[in-house]
Structure 1
Amino acid sequence: MAFLELKGIQKAYYLDKQAFPVLKGIDLQFERGEFVSILGESGGGKSTLMNIIGGLDRNFDGQVLVNGELLDHRKEQQLDNYRRSMVGYIYQSYNLISHLTVLDNVLVALDMTNLNKDEKRQRALKLLDQVGLSKQVHKHPNHLSGGQKQRVAIARALASDPQIIIADEPTGALDSQNTREVLTLLDQIAKDGKLVIVVTHSQEVADHGTRIVHLADGKIDGDERLRPAYALPEDPTHIKPRQLPAAASYRMSFKHLMYNFWRNSLIMLGTAIGIFAVLLFSGLGNGVNGYIQNQINSLTNPRSITVFKNPTGKKLTQDQIQSSLMQNMAADPQSMVINQADLKRMAKVTGAASVQKGNMIGGYRLSYGKLQQSGSSMTTWNKSVTANSIKHGHKPGKGEVVLTKQQAIQLTSPKKYRDLVGKSVKLSFNWVNTKGDPVAIDGVVKVAGLSEGASAGTTINYATLQHMLKQKGADTRPNFATVNASSLTNVEEVANRINNLRNGKHERILGAITVGSILKTVNTYVHLASTILAAIAGISLLVSALMIIVTMYMSVSERTKEIGILRALGERKKDIRRLFTSESIFIGLFSALLALVIVAIVTICLNHALYGLIKYNIVQITASDVVFAVVVAVIISFIAALLPARYAAKLNPIDALAAD
């Protein structure tokens, strides 16, 4: 039984539905140990026959049998396995992979064997030594002569220990000396028990083999035995093949990336800038949120809950409570009064540590000498306010008030406003008595301190305000209360319980405002703004994705022949797709790392520049931001490579090998 048998092989090419026969019924048998030369003129069908034998051409009629078993050319996976385990190619144009070293070009074939890393390297070095290239292993193909390149191609063809070696005009580009050396190597391969098939149009090359098959006009018109096939060795070698592991694709992708690093670095830089912008705006959002929270918590007791009367009886949001408060304070102050029963109910709420009564004045006027100043809101000092809000002086005691810095400037001057601390000012405002009749209130109070910043406000001692109201017969009942929660963790729970207090008509009677709620609202706006800015910055990521797509298509175009080589070695379509997607993922990862370096430098610079002004690091990049950046970079680069990688995998190996 023949080792390799061709039965009735026919092949035609079509142009506008017109058939042009190339092979017209080829019947051949081959044995191991043969050095068969297929001789014929150009256009006679030699290369087509070689592609059929090598499992590259699937569209033909007839049968190919290996060891008596039919090779089904309709099954792509079977052909991949066949090329991987049985066939080694040697090309006239060498077809070495330019971005790999001599050693790596041989290791490409060994990656699809079950040898371990050391065994692969040792075999590759041994083969290169056998072809006389032991001193050239770390060079790239462009540093080799034609004869040396062909020797590398021979070493690669032998690497996985295939049983069939197909050589397509292996000496066509070599001088006479290199031709003799290459033919000697091919003869030695046949002596080792392999089937060597050489396609040539040179009679001199054909005479070197054990048998000449002459092909003319798509038919065999001669089959001459020059000498017997070589005897098979008693202990033939055999290396078990396997599918290409993912790690091998990743290594090859990384090597190509490094080979073209400076070109790829422009793509990485563009992608990194987009990721950097998204990270920076996200970090600014985190920093602004943190800064606002820090400022509010430093000026306001985070455990405090400010409670007002709910005149609507319905559930109100924080904004609605504040809006209703301002409207009712001006139109109907008595509707905002909190009675003693309500205070007791608040005190009994689970999680409430204390309840403090307070008054809020809707409008007032300050006088100092001949200067006057009007204000829109003044409250009694309570536990929701901290002494941190007072930049000059102290919190108000009996007969004292705290003014804002701006009020002090208006009552004195920008240079002497601090002198107002310790001085007396006249305070006047309108209030009502218990019957709802208007009452004018006035009195003299001492300025205890001045408040500054976004949370600055006018506050007066509670006992002092109560005394002023009693003197004029005004209503002294509180119109707000401050509830202190027992811990920070249950502030929102206590506020919700207060909001749910009902009267006999099942109407809500109170509305609670917490610092956390205010912060939540502010943070929502800041987060929205930072998200919008990050989204705008994210447009650059789309541009980066387009750049990666273009780069990958360029890479496919440049590496078309390489794709054909890898498919001829037995790589699957899946391996080709992974080759390009993994390189794109590497681009994404390096872009993310570059973006992290850039954002780290910018963060340090910005925080250092602004810390002296606000005493806070305004850019805060979190671990989740870092993870987000890496994940986004990988996903974008992977998606961007899908179409080019799919296109590369679909290339016909024969057409790919013929590419320039």
Structure 2
Amino acid sequence: MAFLELKDIHKSYFLGKEEFPVLNGIDLQLDRGEFVSILGESGGGKSTLMNIIGGLDRKFTGQVTIDGHQLDHTKEKQLDNYRRGTIGYIYQSYNLISHLNIVENVLVSLDMTTLRGGQRKERAIALLKKVGLGDHLKKRPNQLSGGQKQRVAIARALASDPEIIIADEPTGALDSRNTAEVLKLLDQIAAEGKLVITVTHSQEVANYGTRIVHLTDGQIDGDTRLKPAYPVPQEDLSQFKAKPLSSGASYHNAFKHLTFNFWRNSLIMLGTAIGLFAVLLFSGLGNGVNAFIQDQINSMVNPNSITVFKNPTGKKMSSAELQQSMQQFASDPSKLLITDSQVDRLRDLKHVDKVEPGYQFSTYTLSYNKKNSNGSGIQTWTKAFADDTVKTGHAPGNNEIVINKNQAIALTSAKTYKQLQGKKIQLTAQWINTKNQPIQISGTLKVVGFSDNAQTLPAATNYHTMRDLLEKKNGVTKANYVSVNVTEPTYVKQVAKKIQGFKDNDKYVYGAVTVGDILDTINQYVQIASIVLSAIAGISLLVSALMIIVTMFMSVSERTKEIGILRALGQRKKDIRRLFTAESILIGLFSAALALIFAYGFSTLLNHLLYSIVKFNMVQITVANIITIVIIALVISFIAALLPARRASRLNPIDALSAD
């Protein structure tokens, strides 16, 4: 049985509905060890027959049998495996890949074998030395003569140790000396037991082989044996097998092309990096602002503290709703009073180490040496205040008061306000008596400290001082808020939720406000601002994606012939898609790396400039931000490459090989 057998091969091309027959019933049997020349004039069907034998042309009728196994040309995967493991191509125009050196050109075929990396390179160099190119290993195709290029093509065809070598006009572009050398190499290949098929229109070239098959008008009109076929080795001496291209090899090849066109690609990477940098910077700025606000609040307020109020409506409410409701009931303080039993109930909570009832008065007046200062929000001192809330002096004890710096200045002067410490001032506030009637309470208290922030601490006395003032005027002594201190910050939300869930007669008793609630609200606004700014920056990412798409389409157009070469060598459609998506993903990765360099450099500079003002790093880039940016870069680059990569994979290999 012949190694390669063609039975009743018919092939036609169509122009509209008009049929043009090219092959008209080809029957041919070929064996290994033969150097067969398919001879004929141009247009006789030689190249079409070569494409059918090589597994590139699928649209024909008839049978192709290899070593007793019939090829199914409707199954693309089977043809890919056939070309990869059985066929080696040598072209008249060499069809070398221009951006690779000659070793790398041979490695393109060896990447689809079971050889390891070092073994592949050793075999590539050995084959190039075998064809006489040992002194040119680092050269690219454009640095070689025509004869040298054809030798590279022969080495590449032999790389995967195929059973069949197809040479399409291998000497058509060579002078007589190079022609003789190439034909000698082909004869040596046949002598090693391969089936060498040469397509030629030259009788002189055809006479060099062992057999001539003459083709005229799509039919065999002559089959001449010139000399016996060479003996074929009985054992398979090959130490490796063909296999599909690995993803690692695809990325390696993509990287080579990326670096070959580095300057063009660098502009795309720069444009993409600028968009990623802007998104990263705004995210880092949002983190910094949030951290700054949290630091400022935590420096003034104890983060373990929960402020508990009476729920005036009995309905379940959020912190924001609670504060709005309290403003509505401000004119009727009796609705906001908390009984002693309700205070005691809070003491039984798990993870709570301190419960302090207190008073908050909406308005008050301070008087000193016939000067008055009005304020709002005086309250009793609790553990809710941070240790450094009082910048000068100390927390208030019995019959003592802490006021803010602005009030001290109003009662004295900007230069002498500290002299007010240790002096006694008059406090006047509005409250209600036991009959729910408004009363005025007053007392003389000693100033023992000053706070810098009037919003955090307008003024404060301790609980016992305020209760004594209320009892003297027959005022209501029930607290109107309670400060609950939690043992660990991790329990604050849990305890606050528990407090908010307490009911009496199916009505919710308490409302709770934590530092986290305040921060959540502020952070929400900062986050919205960050998202808006990042979205604006994201427009540049859209432009970058379009740039990548255009670049990939240009790359497909420029590399059309290369795509045909890779498909002829046995790469699958998915390998072609992966080649272009890999290059695009690499562009995305390098863009992300460049964006990180920009972001860290700029954030360091910005933090240095702002630190002297706010004593805080206002740009804080987190690991999550970095991961997000890398993911965005990968997603954008991958999506941008989908259409160009799909177009590349769908190219007809025969048409791609004939592209200029």
Please report how far the alpha carbon of residue 423 of structure 1 lies from its aligned counterpart in structure 2 after TM superposition.
Answer: 4.8
Offset of residue 563 of structure 1: 0.9
Task: Report the Cα distance in structure 1 between the residues aligned to 2:414 and 2:95, rounded to whole angstroms.
Answer: 83
Native 8 Å contact 2:146 2:174 kept in 1: yes
User: Which residues of 2 match residues 362-511 of structure 1 at below 5 A?
Assistant: 362-369=362-369, 371-412=371-412, 417-453=417-453, 456-462=456-462, 463-503=464-504, 505-511=505-511
TM-score normalised over the length of structure 2: 0.94
The gaps in structure 2 that reach 5 residues or longer are none
Q: Confirm or deny: 8 A CA contact 2:402 2:450 kept in the other structure.
A: yes
Please say if residues 387 and 394 of structure 1, whose CA atoms lie closer than 8 Å, have aligned partners that are also in contact. no
Q: Give the Cα separation in 2 of the matches to 1:575 and 1:434.
A: 86
Please tell me the root mean square deviation across aligned C-alpha atoms, in Å.
Answer: 2.3
Specify the code of the residue in structure 1 equivalent to 2:40: G
* Aligned 8 A contact 2:377 2:459 in 1: no
**1:3–1:29 contact (8 Å) kept in structure 2:** yes
| Shift in CA distance, 224/316, structure 1 to aligned 2, threshold 3 Å | same
Aligned partner of 2:152 in structure 1 is: 152
Q: Are 2:284 and 1:277 equivalent residues in the alignment?
A: no
Deviation at 1:568, TM superposition (A): 0.6
Where does residue 8 of structure 1 map in the other structure? 8
Instruction: Report 1:70-219 matches (<5 A).
Output: 70-219=70-219
Amino acid corresponding to residue 400 of structure 1 in structure 2? E
1:298 maps to 299
Any stretches of 5+ residues in structure 1 without a counterpart?
Answer: none
Which shifted more, 311-320 or 286-295? 286-295
Contact in 2 for aligned 1:299/1:455 (Cα 8 Å): no
Q: Could you tell me how far apart the structure 1 residues matched to 2:376 and 2:424 are?
A: 20
Shift of 1:403: 2.7
Q: Which residue identity is paired with 1:111?
A: D
Shift of 1:97: 0.8
Shift of 1:454: 7.9
**CA offset digits 1:106-135 (Å, max 9, x no partner):** 111112222222322222111101111111
Give the SS at the match of 1:314.
coil
Q: Check conservation: 2:273, 2:595, Cα contact below 8 A.
A: yes
> How has the CA–CA distance of structure 1 residues 415 and 659 changed in structure 2, closer, same or farther, with 3 Å as cutoff?
farther
Q: In structure 2, what is the Cα distance between the partners aligned to 1:618 and 1:122?
A: 56
Corresponding residue of 1:257: 258
The SS at the match of 2:242 is coil
Contact 1:588 1:637 (8 Å CA) reproduced: yes
After superposition, give the CA deviation of every residue in 1:360-380 in whole Å (9 maximum; x if it has no partner): 111123345565443222112
Distance (Å, rounded) in 1 between the aligned partners of 2:67 and 2:461:
105
Which amino acid in 2 is paired with 1:269? L
- Aligned partner letter, 1:323: Q
Secondary structure of residue in 1 paired with 2:65 = strand
Distance 1:232 1:317 in 2: 88
Matched AA of 2:281: L
Tell me: CA distance 1:124–1:456, structure 2 relative to 1, closer, same or farther (3 Å): same
For the Cα contact (< 8 Å) 1:34–1:190, is it kept in 2?
Answer: yes
Q: TM-score, normalised by structure 1?
A: 0.94
Q: Which stretch of the first structure deviates more once superposed, 163-172 or 230-239? A: 230-239
Q: What amino acid sits opposite 2:486 in the alignment?
A: A
3-state secondary structure, aligned to 2:7: strand
The residue number in structure 2 matching 1:287 is 288
Query: What residue identity is the alignment partner of 1:70?
Result: Q
Deviation for aligned residue 1:422: 4.5
What SS is found at the alignment partner of 1:249? helix
Deviation readout 1:580-602 (Å, 9 max, x if unpaired): 22222222222222222222222
* Higher deviation after alignment, 422-431 or 295-304: 422-431
Give the secondary structure class of the aligned counterpart of 1:137. coil
Amino acid at match of 1:322: Q
Bigger shift: 406-415 or 470-479? 406-415
Contact 2:190/2:196 (8 A) holds in 1: yes
**Separation in structure 1 between the aligned mates of residue 492 and residue 248 of structure 2, nearest angstrom:** 54
1:597 aligns with 2:590: no
Q: Secondary structure at the match of 1:8?
A: strand
Task: Give the stretch that moved more between structures: 174-183 or 467-476.
Answer: 467-476
Q: Deviations over 1:375-410 (max 9, x none)?
A: 222112222112412233333344433333333444
Which segment is superposed worse, 524-533 or 249-258?
524-533
Residue 68 to residue 440, structure 1, CA distance change in 2 (3 Å): closer
The more displaced of 160-169 and 118-127 is 118-127
Counting matched residue pairs gives: 658
Cα distance, 1:311–1:234 mapped onto 2, change above 3 Å: closer
State the one-letter code of the partner of 1:285: G
Q: Look up the match of 1:333.
A: 333
Contact 2:337/2:478 (8 A) holds in 1: yes
Q: Does 1:580 align with 2:580?
A: yes
Change (3 A) 1:216 1:418: farther
SS at match of 1:388: coil
User: Contact 1:267/1:548 (CA < 8 Å) preserved in 2?
Assistant: yes
Deviations 1:223-250 (A, max 9, x none): 3333332333465643422222222212
Q: After TM superposition, give the deviation of residue 659 of structure 1 in Å.
A: 0.8
Distance 2:399 2:93 in 1: 101
Deviation at 1:425, TM superposition (A): 4.3
Task: State how far apart, in whole Å, the 1-side matches of 2:179 and 2:418 are.
Answer: 101
Q: Which has the larger displacement, 227-236 or 429-438?
A: 227-236
State the alpha-carbon separation in 2 of the partners of residues 314 and 236 from structure 1.
Answer: 87
1:432 counterpart letter in structure 2: I
**Structure 1 position 412, deviation (Å):** 4.9
CA–CA distance in structure 2, aligned partners of residues 367 and 650 of structure 1: 88
**For residues 43-68 of structure 1, what are the alpha-carbon distances to aligned partners after superposition, in whole Å with 9 as ceiling and x for unaligned?**
22211111111111111122222223
Secondary structure of 1:449's aligned partner: strand
Shift of 1:90: 0.6
- SS of structure 2 residue aligned to 1:89: strand
Residue number in structure 1 paired with 2:19: 19
> Is 1:502–1:509's contact at 8 Å kept on the other side of the alignment?
yes
For the 8 Å contact 2:405–2:454, the answer to whether it is kept is: no
Q: 1:90 to 1:414 in 2, by over 3 A?
A: farther
Offset, 1:534: 2.9
Contact 1:433–1:475 (CA under 8 A) maintained in structure 2: yes
- Percent identity between the aligned chains? 60
Q: 2 CA distance for matches of 1:181 and 1:453?
A: 94
Please tell me whether the aligned partners of residues 326 and 362 of structure 1 are also in contact (alpha carbons under 8 angstroms). Answer: no
Distance 1:512 1:59 in 2: 78
Once residues 626 and 382 of structure 2 are traced to their aligned partners in structure 1, the CA distance between those partners, rounded to angstroms, is 42
**1:342 alignment partner, SS class:** helix
Read off the aligned partner of 1:479 and give its amino acid letter. Answer: N
Alignment of 1:324 with 2:325, yes or no, is yes
- Contact 2:360–2:480 (Cα < 8 Å) also in 1: yes
Give, in angstroms, the shift of residue 515 of structure 1: 1.9
Is 1:314 matched with 2:324? no
Q: In structure 2, what is the equivalent of residue 521 of structure 1?
A: 521
Q: Matched residues in 1 for 2:280 and 2:621: separation? A: 7
Deviation at 1:35, TM superposition (A): 1.9
Q: CA deviation at 1:164?
A: 1.3
Of 277-286 and 77-86, deviating more is 277-286
CA distance in 2, matches of 1:605, 1:400: 47
Q: What is the rounded CA distance, in whole Å, between the counterparts of 2:107 and 2:552 in structure 1?
A: 24
Q: Are the aligned partners of 2:500 and 2:509 in contact in 1 as well (CA < 8 Å)?
A: yes
The AA in structure 2 aligned to 1:647 is R
User: What is the CA-CA distance between 1:34 and the residue it aligns to?
Assistant: 2.0
Distance change in 2, residues 1:520/1:656 (3 Å): same
Query: 1:172 corresponds to which letter in structure 2?
Result: G
1:100 aligns to what SS in structure 2?
coil
In structure 1, the partner of 2:659 is 659
The answer on whether the counterparts of 1:96 and 1:153 sit within 8 Å (CA) in structure 2 is yes
Q: CA deviation at 1:471?
A: 4.2
Equivalence for 1:549:
549
Measured in 1, the distance between the counterparts of 2:387 and 2:31 equals: 99
Any residues of structure 2 matched to 1:26-105 within 5 Å, and which? Answer: 26-105=26-105
Query: Residue 414 and residue 271 in structure 1: after superposition, are their counterparts in 2 closer, same or farther (change >3 A)?
Result: farther
